[in-house]
Amino acid sequence: MRSCCILNGGGGAWAFGGLAAQLGRSLWLDVSEVPREFNYLLLADGLDPAACGELFIPYRAVQLAADKRLLAAAFAAAGVPTPETRLVGSLAEAERVPAEDPGREWCLKFPTGCGASGHRRLVPGMVLPKSWPLPLVVQEFVRLDRPEVYRTYVAGGQSFGWVVRRFPDGVAPSPWVAHARGARYEAVGAAPGPAVAAARAALAAAGLLESFGCADLLRRRTGEWVVLEVGTDGLFNHVDRELGLPGLEHEVQWRVAEAFWARLGGWRPWGPVRGTPDRWLGPSPTRHRVRARSLFPLLTDRACALLSAAGPVSGFGRIHRGHRGGRRHLPDVQSNAARREEVAGREAPLRRKAPGLEARLSGPSGHGRRGDAADGVHGPSGAGSRRRRF
């Protein structure tokens, strides 16, 4: 088995700190500033792609996704359906585009921004900052009755997810439908076949099809699906995980974890390969193992068997003998309130069957009920800080 990690180091590593921690939990990996044999790259100063080991997301794909100039050339070469896009060398040349094609509206896109930062409509007499990168990305502006952008994902070659970003009622709409500008994600059922085909063509052109990425699309009034851009994790940007859709947020974590470990063979750190996300053992194994070691070795094998048969108890989940020989916590996605209601009816028969178990369930410091698997409580005494649920 090759060594692997979440690679995040250098002066800007703080910007990826939250994502690095989340990936570490969902992929069962630690975060390192030093490359290993197989890496999930977020950031590394002075990185030499040829000498840093293998990358889960190819370095060139990360560069393409982060620069709309490179992406436009890659899309054109691969025949990806997009709004009409032109790369020009000056603002004067850009201003000639609407004159030559007055039947369309046009915009200038800032090539390395995210969240539609810097984008603007192309109008005569406009002034750009001197630092604006060249060549300029001039793109057709597709006007819609209601501004909206669709998104789908790919991980390990498998397409999944179909959501739309829209501005909710009460929020002033913007021509740039970005989460950072107030747009929100909504689930919209199954993705249409032509949209999936266009997205996969774009992700393949960017070199992301076999790792992880997303594609943003528009639907013209004619019904044609066109790709705006693709995104992935690393160096400059990362794929938005704050969707407000817990099921899809969980699926993104599961599919990325499966795609990462599939590249290393059939072995998984959480045990045998699971075929569906609802059977995935979930994020944050380090925290679970720390908590498990503080309590579970106190239980007899008989008590362990009783607990495993009865299901989740006191917020700790089932007790299970893991592949490394120790007992391991299998996290459950339930709230504290639901967990406590369930526990009330389960602990009584367990105490009758296993005398002395009650004190052990509570633990020496009474921490047996201090939160559930997603609360972010660390260590045997419940000390620690809460984290965002994913």
Give the mean pLDDT of 349-378: 40
In a domain, 46, yes or no: no
Does 211 share its domain with 92?
Answer: yes
In a domain, 41, yes or no: no
245 neighbors 185 (Cβ within 8 angstroms): yes
- pLDDT reading at 61 higher than 60: yes
Sign of torsion over alpha carbons 44, 45, 50, 53 = negative
143 neighbors 181 (Cβ within 8 angstroms): no
- pLDDT interval class at 178 (50, 70, 90): confident
pLDDT of residue 345: 57
Does 123 share its domain with 199?
Answer: yes
- pLDDT reading at 92 higher than 60: yes
pLDDT of residue 14: 94
Distances (CA, A) of 334 to 171, 266, 313: 32, 29, 12
Does 125 share its domain with 215?
Answer: yes
pLDDT of residue 341: 54
In a domain, 276, yes or no: no
Does 79 share its domain with 220?
Answer: yes
In a domain, 384, yes or no: no
When mean pLDDT is compared across 31-45, 280-294, 376-390, the lowest value belongs to 376-390
Q: How confident is the model over 258-316, as pLDDT tens digits?
A: 999 999 998 888 876 555 555 554 554 443 332 223 333 333 334 334 433 444 333 33
Q: How many domains does the chain have?
A: 2
Does 72 share its domain with 210?
Answer: yes
pLDDT of residue 69: 96
Confirm whether pTM is higher than 0.75.
no
Give the mean pLDDT of 77-83: 98
What angle (nearest 5°) sits at the alpha carbon of residue 364, between those of residues 362 and 370? 45
Does 226 share its domain with 288?
Answer: no
17 neighbors 51 (Cβ within 8 angstroms): no
Does 208 share its domain with 291?
Answer: no
In a domain, 382, yes or no: no
Distances (CA, A) of 104 to 24, 147, 315: 46, 17, 59
Report the percent of the chain where pLDDT is more than 70: 69
Given 198, 216, 231, the domain boundary residue is 231
Half-sphere exposure of residue 377: CA atoms within 13 angstroms, side-chain side: 18
CB atoms within 10 A of CB 4: 24
Strand 4-8 versus strand 31-32 pairing type: parallel
In a domain, 349, yes or no: yes
Does 80 share its domain with 152?
Answer: yes
Tokens of 32: 């390192």
In a domain, 385, yes or no: no
- pLDDT interval class at 172 (50, 70, 90): confident
- pLDDT reading at 221 higher than 80: yes
Q: Residue 199: give its domain's CATH number.
A: 3.30.470.20
When mean pLDDT is compared across 152-156, 226-230, 344-348, the lowest value belongs to 344-348
pLDDT of residue 306: 41
Q: What is the mean pLDDT of the chain?
A: 77
3-state secondary structure the chain: CCCEEEEECCCCHHHHHHHHHHHHHHHCCCEECCCCCEEEEEECCCCCCCCCCEECCCHHHHHHHHCHHHHHHHHHHHCCCCCCEEEECCHHHHHHHHHHCCCCEEEEECCCCCCCCCCEECCCCCCCCCCCCCCEEEEEECCCCCCEEEEEEEECCEEEEEEEEECCCCCCCCCCCCHHHCCEEEECCCCCHHHHHHHHHHHHHCCCCCCEEEEEEEECCCCCEEEEEEECCECCECCCCCCCCHHHHHHHHHHHHHHHHHCCCCCCCCCCCCCCHHHCCCCCHHHHHHHHHHHHHHCCHHHHHHHHHHCCCCCCCEEEECCCCCEEEECCCCCHHHHHHHHHHHHHHHHHHCCCHHHHHHCCCCCCCCCCCCCCCCCCCCCCCCCCCC
Does 96 share its domain with 185?
Answer: yes
Strand 158-166 versus strand 105-109 pairing type: unpaired
Does 110 share its domain with 222?
Answer: yes
Does 197 share its domain with 113?
Answer: yes
3 neighbors 14 (Cβ within 8 angstroms): no
In a domain, 148, yes or no: yes
Parent domain of 341: 284-362
- pLDDT interval class at 191 (50, 70, 90): very high
pLDDT of residue 175: 82
Does 185 share its domain with 69?
Answer: yes
